[in-house]
Amino acid sequence: MARSPFTPTRALRVSFVGAVASALLLSGCVAQGTAAAPAEPKEAAAEPSLEFQGPNGEQPGALAELELTDDELAEVEAGDYTAAFVWHTSGDFVAAVEEGARAEFEELGIEVVASTQANFDAGTQANNVQTVMALDPDIVVAIAVDPTSAAKSFQPILDAGAKLVIMTTPPEGYAAGDEFVSIVTEDLAKAGRANAEILGDALGGEGEVGVLTFNANFWFTNQRDQSFTDWLAYEYPDITIVEEQGFADETATQAAAAAMIAKNPNLTGIYVSWATAAQGVLAAIRAAGRTDIQVVTNDLDTTVAAAMMTGTNVAGMVGNGSLDIGAGLARAGAYGVLGKEAPELVASDPTKVTADNLVEGWQADYGVDPPASVTGG
């Protein structure tokens, strides 16, 4: 009998192309004493798709597709396998994903021997791969900081015969079933829509919005960002995106947001690709003395959550199903050591989190109550 890790009794372990329609302001030369022609109405945006695909065209399935029989579970538990994490960065989201993976690895009898993070630096990640592989793990859970350079820097994992499992972003040229077992991620189309609905509702369906997105070939973030702009245009036609900027370094978002706010005095909302990058945006908003600009972003983050609960500048956040992603990564690792073919891509459902459902959303995504620094308790 097949056993799935995604059942209610194990919920705490297991529990991103269309263009955005913009207003075209037509103002001709108006003769003295004559009225200006009215602006043409904005063309209605087409309904976006709720489908997305992986970096190599993989079609996502549900996390529940990752299941093992009792005999397979027993085989993994008897294998004395080890695992290691090679992350891109740190933060609440990564910590929660790792927590979910560690819990599932423990259930499977797999020992975690290392965990590293690279502060979004490809060179650091390359060194981390070398450090981790010196411990000879059987399973490596990783996400490529830079897909191009990672094709080379991840090669020691393949050379050692370890089973590589990917959270969201694999090295360029790597394919599921060959170089890695599977990709585990969140549903990017649904996440983008959730961001659009949080911000659109917070703005009452009208206003001017700025967009700060990750300026790199990062398929996961790129599709989620695009989904936000598509759904905002479709569901909130009276909201206009007045400026879009890209950032390569999340520490640069404060300066980018400050310039955006100065250039667009009627700005009332900003979307940022993820929460730690949103921290700089919030700093720029506070420095400008603007209490009317609201931010929406991805990942549940203590700093952003605290700002949401104590101020007026955070409309909400979108959780990724972090514990589920972690458990799926570990389960895919078990597929790898068993030599069992896994789905190429599986995805978790995101969760809208606002001040009204913070505790419930935090519990659903991270499996614990939000910290006192967020709730003030």
Residues 6+ apart with CB under 8 A from 308: 314, 315, 316, 317, 354, 355, 358
Q: Evaluate if residue 253 carries a pLDDT over 80.
A: yes
Whole-model pTM over 0.75: yes
Instruction: Please state, in angstroms and rounded to a whole number, the distance separating the CA atoms of residues 224 and 17.
Output: 11
Half-sphere exposure of 320 (CA within 13 A, CB side): 33
pLDDT at 137: 98
Q: Evaluate if residue 25 carries a pLDDT over 60.
A: no
41 band by pLDDT with thresholds 50, 70 and 90: low
Kindly state the percentage of the chain with pLDDT values over 70.
89
Cβ neighbour number for residue 55 with a 10 Å cutoff: 23
22 band by pLDDT with thresholds 50, 70 and 90: very low
Q: Evaluate if residue 30 carries a pLDDT over 90.
A: no
pLDDT at 5: 42
**Token pair for residue 249?**
């370094």
Q: Evaluate if residue 39 carries a pLDDT over 50.
A: no
User: Contact 272/209 with Cβ under 8 angstroms?
Assistant: no
| 324-350 CB burial, b ≥16 within 10 A, e <16 | bbbbbbbbbbbbbbbeeebbbbbbbbb
Q: Residue type for 105, please?
A: F
pLDDT at 23: 31
Q: Evaluate if residue 2 carries a pLDDT over 50.
A: no
Q: Evaluate if residue 10 carries a pLDDT over 60.
A: no
Instruction: Please state, in angstroms and rounded to a whole number, the distance separating the CA atoms of residues 281 and 309.
Output: 17
89-104 pLDDT per residue, tens: 998 889 999 999 999 9
Instruction: Please state, in angstroms and rounded to a whole number, the distance separating the CA atoms of residues 151 and 146.
Output: 9
pLDDT at 45: 84
pLDDT at 278: 97
List the helix and strand counts (H, then E) for the chain: 13, 15
Q: Evaluate if residue 170 carries a pLDDT over 80.
A: yes
User: Contact 370/358 with Cβ under 8 angstroms?
Assistant: yes
Task: Pick the more confident residue, 218 or 287.
Answer: 287
User: Contact 345/185 with Cβ under 8 angstroms?
Assistant: yes
Mean pLDDT, rounded, of the chain: 89
Helices 92-108 and 70-77, axial angle in degrees (round to 10) = 100
267-284 pLDDT per residue, tens: 999 999 999 999 999 999
User: Contact 166/182 with Cβ under 8 angstroms?
Assistant: yes
Instruction: Please state, in angstroms and rounded to a whole number, the distance separating the CA atoms of residues 67 and 270.
Output: 40
Out of 29-43, 263-277, 345-359, least confident range: 29-43
The residues facing 140 across adjacent strands are 84, 164
328-353 pLDDT per residue, tens: 999 999 999 999 999 999 999 999 99
Which stretches within the chain are classed as H helix?
70-77, 92-108, 122-133, 147-153, 155-159, 188-202, 219-235, 253-263, 275-287, 302-310, 322-338, 358-366, 372-375
Cβ neighbour number for residue 148 with a 10 Å cutoff: 12
Residues 6+ apart with CB under 8 A from 265: none
Measured between alpha carbons, how far is residue 189 from residues 251, 350, 370 in Å? 26, 10, 26
